[in-house]
A and B are shown apart, each in its own frame.
Chain A
Amino acid sequence: MTTGDEGFDPVFNDVENETALPIGHGEFMRAGPISEQDPLVPEGGEALSSGGNLRRMYGVFSENKLAVVGVGVIIFFLLFCFVGPHVYPTNQTDAQYALQHSTQNAPPGNGNPLGTDENGFNILGRLMFGGQASLIVGLASALVATVFGTLYGAISGFFGGWLDSLLMRVVDILLSIPVLFLLIALVTIYHSSETLLIVVIAFVSWLVPARLIRGETLSLRIREYVQAVRVMGGSRNRIINRHIIPNAVGTIVVFATFQVADSILLLAALGFLGLGVPAPNTDWGTMLSNGVQAAGNGYWWQIYPVGICIVLVVIAFNYVGDALRDSLEVRLQQR
Chain B
Amino acid sequence: MTGYIIRRLGQAVIVVLGVILFTFVLAQLIPGGEAKAVLGPKATPTTVAQFNRRNGLDQSTLLQFWHYLDGIFHGNLGYSYKYNQGVTQVIMERLPKTLTLVTASVVLALIIAVPLGILQVVRRNKPIDYIATGASFFFYAMPDFLVGTLLIIYFSFDLKWFPVAPPSDASAWSVFTDPRAFVLPVATLCVTSIASFSRYMRSSMMDAMAEDYIRTARAKGASNRRVLYGHALRNALIPILTLLGLSLPAIVSGALIVENVFNYPGMGLLTVQSAFNDDIPVVLGTTLVITIATVIGSLLADILYAVADPRIRLGST
- Chain A residues close to B by CB (< 8 Å): 1, 3-4, 7-12, 169-170, 172-182, 184-190, 265, 268-269, 272-275, 285, 288, 292, 295-296, 298, 303, 307, 310-311, 314-315, 318
Contact = CB atoms under 8 A, between A and B. Distances in A.
A10 B246 CA distance: 10
A60 to B, nearest CB: 21
The prevalent SS among residues of A at the interface is helix
Contacts of A9: 242, 246
A8 B287 contact: no
Contacts of A314: 141, 143
B184 to A, nearest CB: 13
B294 A176 contact: yes
Contacts of A303: 149, 153
B125 to A, nearest CB: 19
B30 A272 contact: no
A170 B19 CA distance: 9
Q: Which of B143, B242, B295 has the most CB of A within 10 A?
A: B143
Interface of B: 4, 7-8, 10-11, 14-15, 18-19, 22-23, 26, 29-31, 141-143, 145-146, 149-150, 152-153, 157, 164, 239, 242-243, 246, 249-250, 252-253, 256-257, 260-261, 268, 271-272, 274-276, 278, 280, 283-284, 286-287, 290-291, 294-295, 298, 302, 306, 312
Contacts of B290: 178, 181
A180 B256 contact: yes
A288 B253 contact: no
Contacts of A269: 143, 145, 257
A1 B278 CA distance: 38
Given A189-B31, A288-B145, A177 B11 contact: no
Nearest to A177: B291
Contacts of A3: 7
Contact of A288 (B146, B276, B287, B295): B146
Contact of B246 (A7, A12, A188, A189): A12
A206 B272 CA distance: 24
Contacts of A169: 14, 18
Nearest to B245: A9
A189 B143 CA distance: 26
Given A7-B302, A176-B291, A1 B11 contact: yes
Contact of B283 (A10, A172, A184, A292): A184
26 contacts: A1-B14, A4-B11, A8-B11, A11-B246, A177-B291, A178-B250, A178-B256, A178-B294, A179-B253, A181-B291, A185-B284, A187-B275, A188-B278, A189-B26, A189-B31, A269-B145, A272-B145, A273-B257, A274-B272, A288-B149, A295-B152, A296-B157, A303-B149, A310-B146, A311-B143, A315-B141
A296 B286 CA distance: 31
A175 B31 contact: no
A137 to B, nearest CB: 15
Nearest to A316: B141
Nearest to B20: A173
Contacts of A310: 143, 146
A284 to B, nearest CB: 10
Given A173-B19, A303-B153, A311 B295 contact: no
Nearest to A9: B246
B149 to A, nearest CB: 5
Contacts of B149: 288, 292, 295, 303, 307
Contacts of B278: 188
Contacts of A4: 7-8, 10-11
B170 to A, nearest CB: 20
